[in-house]
Amino acid sequence: MKKKILSSVIVVVMLLSISLTGCSTTPSTTPTTTPTTTPEGTSEPAKTVTIEFIHSQPEEERVTAIQKNIDEFVAKNPGIEVKQVPVPEDSYMTKLTTLISSQKLPAIMESNIDWGRLLNSEGVLDTKAHTEIITGKGKDSFFKGALEILQAPDKAEYIGVPVSGWVAGIWYNKALFAEKGLEAPTTWANILNAAKALNDPANKKYGIVFATEESDFTEQTFTQIALSNNAELFDADGKPKFNSPEMKEAIQFYKDLYKYSPQGSNGVTQVKDAFVGGNAAMGIYSTYIMGALYEQGMADKIGFTVPENKSAAGFGMLTTLAISNMISPEEREAAKKFISFMLEKQSNIAWLHMSPGGANPVLKEIASDEQYKSHELLKAFGETSSKVPEAFNELKMLGFQNGKSHPKMGNITAKLVIPKALNAILVQNANIDKEIEKAQKSMEQIVNE
């Protein structure tokens, strides 16, 4: 799975541990004006405004694709220049941290849900500008979950403008389901029934494969199961309730499914290899599995759903474009125009096609657009490629309740409290009640620290 599925906690720890020092190579955000010559030969300041766009897409082909979008934007918007600043992902937040320290954040930053919350907590985002862009496009143009999860915690504004994202769900082999006359694995009952019917461990064929190791991947996978049962992690007062009846039901269902899964501590590699290799009829994974399925010639055999019990629940991550509040009014307006341009059909599809399958549309009209689906990988998946983005309607995350993220959720994720409990219950066959209470106490301790 692509490295962007790393938990927010890693980012939080990194940000908090980095010394906020200046950087001599940091670009200035002072608006650039270029002298021009009038017909009479006198010089006057030009109206050109230069803004910088920092992103974590340093691969040559992506830089080229982004530059093409920039060139098209500049051609349509005389007086605005856009300079892209590609930074490797593993050092991206370090770079932003030094820019925050030196008060020189560029006009536009690539971000995501976790980074956005962190930047918002630092008070460096222009959430009003984001809201103006989204409102201008039309809130109904976006899949609803893609906006809901980007709400600022303290006002009716947004911490970023979504341009793409990945989602996770249940991938399944439609041919195997058809052979057994099985319904699509949407409800808990259908998922469990299919896992049991298609399980044949004697021949190394399993009904389902999913994460069970002590890692954030397991927490992400379990998130969908828990929230499909409305099993929230905190009560209205922000106190952990991992020992709630709804959470125990979700853990029990996870354990029931494990009977029909390859045994052991399964992680990213095991889950991907088992499903792509044809050893599992279902697999819970992100959209970044689509490339491997396509390469194996399996795309047309694959369906996609998100689990549903009391409600439907998808897990994922958004890529957003965010505007700094450390810039001039002229730069702000230029940044708004550029991000609005990135939501237009041609430029948004070009952005999505940099990582087909992995990056999915957050705009409804793009998901069903024939030009978007014309990419050979997406075409191979047929209607599944249009169905996948609909999971953004049900985008949910543990610890994100009533428009706010619990301040200690990152700490709980960092200490792997949930994956450790699940691994003990499933892989080590520990007592479910004892492990739930153990995890509950751990969470209470973290929240009270």
Look at residue 392 and tell me whether its pLDDT is greater than 70. yes
The pLDDT value given to residue 26: 33
- Residue 8 near residue 216, CB atoms below 8 Å: no
The percentage of residues in the chain with a pLDDT greater than 70, rounded to a whole number, is: 90
47 band by pLDDT with thresholds 50, 70 and 90: confident
The pLDDT value given to residue 154: 82
- Looking at the domain assignment, is residue 36 inside a domain? no
Domain end among 367, 386, 405: 386
Average pLDDT, the chain: 90
Q: What is the mean pLDDT of residues 101-128?
A: 94
Look at residue 15 and tell me whether its pLDDT is greater than 80. no
The pLDDT value given to residue 275: 98
Look at residue 48 and tell me whether its pLDDT is greater than 80. yes
The pLDDT value given to residue 357: 93
25 band by pLDDT with thresholds 50, 70 and 90: very low
Look at residue 27 and tell me whether its pLDDT is greater than 50. no
Look at residue 426 and tell me whether its pLDDT is greater than 50. yes
- Looking at the domain assignment, is residue 99 inside a domain? yes
Do 305 and 432 reside in the same domain of the chain? yes
Domain end among 386, 406, 421: 386
- Looking at the domain assignment, is residue 39 inside a domain? no
The pLDDT value given to residue 46: 59
The pLDDT value given to residue 5: 38
Q: Structurally, how many domains does the chain consist of?
A: 2
The pLDDT value given to residue 229: 98
The pLDDT value given to residue 2: 41
pLDDT top residue among 31 and 185 = 185
| Pair type for strands 80-86 and 49-55 | parallel
Do 172 and 198 reside in the same domain of the chain? yes
Q: Largest Cα–Cα distance of the chain, in whole Å? A: 88
Look at residue 31 and tell me whether its pLDDT is greater than 70. no
pLDDT top residue among 187 and 42 = 187
Q: Which of 13-22, 65-74, 351-360 has the lowest mean pLDDT?
A: 13-22
Do 25 and 89 reside in the same domain of the chain? yes
Q: What is the mean pLDDT of residues 74-97?
A: 96
Q: Residue 352 is part of which domain span?
A: 3-31+46-165+317-386
- Looking at the domain assignment, is residue 8 inside a domain? yes
CATH code, domain carrying 135: 3.40.190.10
In the structure encoding, which two tokens stand for residue 212, read together?
């069970």
Look at residue 74 and tell me whether its pLDDT is greater than 50. yes
Do 191 and 172 reside in the same domain of the chain? yes
The pLDDT value given to residue 423: 98
Do 300 and 330 reside in the same domain of the chain? no
Do 294 and 222 reside in the same domain of the chain? yes
Q: What is the mean pLDDT of residues 278-307?
A: 97
The pLDDT value given to residue 401: 84
Query: Bridge-partner residues for 312, per DSSP?
Result: 308
Do 303 and 427 reside in the same domain of the chain? yes
Q: What is the distance, to the nearest Å, from the Cα of residue 343 to the centroid of all Cα atoms in its chain? A: 17
Domain end among 386, 405, 433: 386
Q: What is the mean pLDDT of residues 135-161?
A: 94
Look at residue 246 and tell me whether its pLDDT is greater than 50. yes
Do 288 and 428 reside in the same domain of the chain? yes
Do 290 and 360 reside in the same domain of the chain? no
Cα(219)–Cα(203) distance, integer angstroms: 29
The percentage of residues in the chain with a pLDDT greater than 90, rounded to a whole number, is: 86
- Looking at the domain assignment, is residue 210 inside a domain? yes
- Looking at the domain assignment, is residue 235 inside a domain? yes
Look at residue 16 and tell me whether its pLDDT is greater than 70. no
pTM (two decimals): 0.87
- Looking at the domain assignment, is residue 41 inside a domain? no
Do 204 and 78 reside in the same domain of the chain? no
Tens digits of residue pLDDT in 319-335 = 999 999 999 999 999 99
Do 406 and 311 reside in the same domain of the chain? yes
Do 260 and 401 reside in the same domain of the chain? yes
